[in-house]
Chain A
Amino acid sequence: DQQVKQNSPSLSVQEGRISILNCDYTNSMFDYFLWYKKYPAEGPTFLISISSIKDKNEDGRFTVFLNKSAKHLSLHIVPSQPGDSAVYFCAASRTGGFKTIFGAGTRLFVKA
């Protein structure tokens, strides 16, 4: 029962270009969405979040877009840097719930 899906296992982008990571969810009760970045041998690091009352949230080079009707969110990284190379996890939770559910991750390679 995969409620949060990241269908692209990997993505390769040239330094300076835009990286777009996608995520789909199935549970319409989700109202809070997050992105995490994970380097090897480290725990996931929180990047950015968005509440379902918004459709966009921006933090520096990172922007998350939410399309509730399509149950889809995306993370845009502009411009991409080699240090952004990592695994990115999409996650979702709902008000009154007790767990945050994660996708399987997308490995981003940013080539110099």
Chain B
Amino acid sequence: ETGVTQSPTHLIKTRGQQVTLRCSSQSGHNTVSWYQQALGQGPQFIFQYYREEENGRGNFPPRFSGLQFPNYSSELNVNALELDDSALYLCASSFRTVRGSGNTIYFGEGSWLTVV
């Protein structure tokens, strides 16, 4: 068990709605990353938060946004949901050093989002 917890585990939303997914980092970790995993694919990087600021973003539109809180927990918000947003959303925490090298990320169990 990694100590990374996510909620909710499953949810169903209607196209056009908004969703918020939550994540608590592993104790001692200062960085949170969010990934989207569609069926049959590997996790795709959405963005990373470090010191409460977005530290980097993958190829996802602005309707994907996030927050990191002082206790290093995090939220992923998706607006104007589309059918293709249906996927497993994974939160991963890590401890980022000053050099930012050799960081192993640890995943939570994920939140399954279905958009109908």
- Complex interface: stretch among B14-22, B41-49, B61-69, B70-78: B41-49
Q: Are B106 and A95 in contact (CB under 8 A)?
A: no
Interface mask (B2-45 → A, CB under 8 Å = 1, otherwise 0): 10101000000000000000000000000001010000111111
Whether B81 is near chain A, meaning CB under 8 Å from some CB there, is: no
Known: A45-B107, A46-B106. A101 touches B101 (CB 8 A): no
A67 vs B100: C-alpha distance in the bound complex, in angstroms? Answer: 23
Q: Which of A34, A95, A102 contacts B104 (CB 8 A)?
A: A34
Question: Between A and B, how many residue pairs show CB distances below 8 Å?
Answer: 72
A6 vs B100: C-alpha distance in the bound complex, in angstroms? Answer: 25
* Size of A's binding interface in residues, CB under 8 A: 28
Q: Which of A6, A89, A93 contacts B103 (CB 8 A)?
A: A93
Q: Are B42 and A105 in contact (CB under 8 A)?
A: yes
A45 vs B90: C-alpha distance in the bound complex, in angstroms? Answer: 12
Whether A63 is near chain B, meaning CB under 8 Å from some CB there, is: no
Interface mask (A70-112 → B, CB under 8 Å = 1, otherwise 0): 0000000000000000000101011111111111110000000
Q: Are A96 and B107 in contact (CB under 8 A)?
A: no
Known A-B contacts: A32-B102, A104-B42. Give 13 more (CB < 8 A): A44-B107, A89-B42, A89-B43, A95-B102, A98-B56, A99-B45, A99-B58, A100-B45, A100-B92, A101-B45, A103-B42, A104-B40, A104-B41
Which residues of A come within 8 Å of B, CB atoms?
Answer: 4, 6, 31-32, 34, 36, 42-46, 49, 51, 89, 91, 93-105
